[in-house]
Homo-oligomer: A and B are copies of this chain.
């Protein structure tokens, strides 16, 4: 992970659809070298994928929320793949503290959200917080502050 890798990551995080040629122009490296570096970043798992980002509200899911789940031991939703596969659930983090995991969800309506809570309740006590807006929806990962570029 040297400075060149970070330059490539910056470009691809900003626009995943850039061609290798266009990337090579922006980072001042030859196209084959760029292709090889990106391939390595993918293979080592640094780049986990390339995804279009969709606005939930404009896609018919105006109700967003963060739900902290206090699961009942054996019925923990993390032990039930069917639950974490529900389409309303956009993200699941296992965390420390008095709660077992945090869910990020989006539904088409308050009624649908209420119904989701009802479905979650058998697995644990849900504590919901509605998302009013998202001032920073996402930020590209950059080199950790203080970290020096290192060779591999």
Interface of A with B (CB < 8 Å)?
A: 1, 9, 12-17, 44-56, 58-61, 66, 78, 84, 87-97, 99, 101-102, 106-108, 112, 129-147
Of A44, A55, A140, most buried by chain B (CB within 10 Å of CB) is: A55
Of A93, A135, A137, A143, most buried by chain B (CB within 10 Å of CB) is: A93
Residue of B nearest to A88 (CB): B145
Quote the shortest CB–CB distance from A94 to chain B (angstroms): 5
Measured in the bound complex, the distance between the Cα atoms of B6 and A61 in whole Å is: 14
Q: A56 — which chain B residues lie within 8 A by C-beta?
A: 141
Q: Is A92 a contact partner of B16 (Cβ separation < 8 A)?
A: no
Q: A17 — which chain B residues lie within 8 A by C-beta?
A: 16-17, 50
Q: Is A54 a contact partner of B48 (Cβ separation < 8 A)?
A: yes
Measured in the bound complex, the distance between the Cα atoms of B139 and A142 in whole Å is: 23
Q: Is B60 a contact partner of A45 (Cβ separation < 8 A)?
A: no
Q: A95 — which chain B residues lie within 8 A by C-beta?
A: 66, 129-132
CB < 8 Å: which of B44, B58, B137 contacts A44? Answer: B58
Given the interface pairs A87-B139, A99-B129, the reply to whether A16 lies near B51 with Cβ below 8 Å is yes
Q: Is B13 a contact partner of A52 (Cβ separation < 8 A)?
A: yes
Given the interface pairs A136-B92, A139-B89, the reply to whether A108 lies near B147 with Cβ below 8 Å is yes
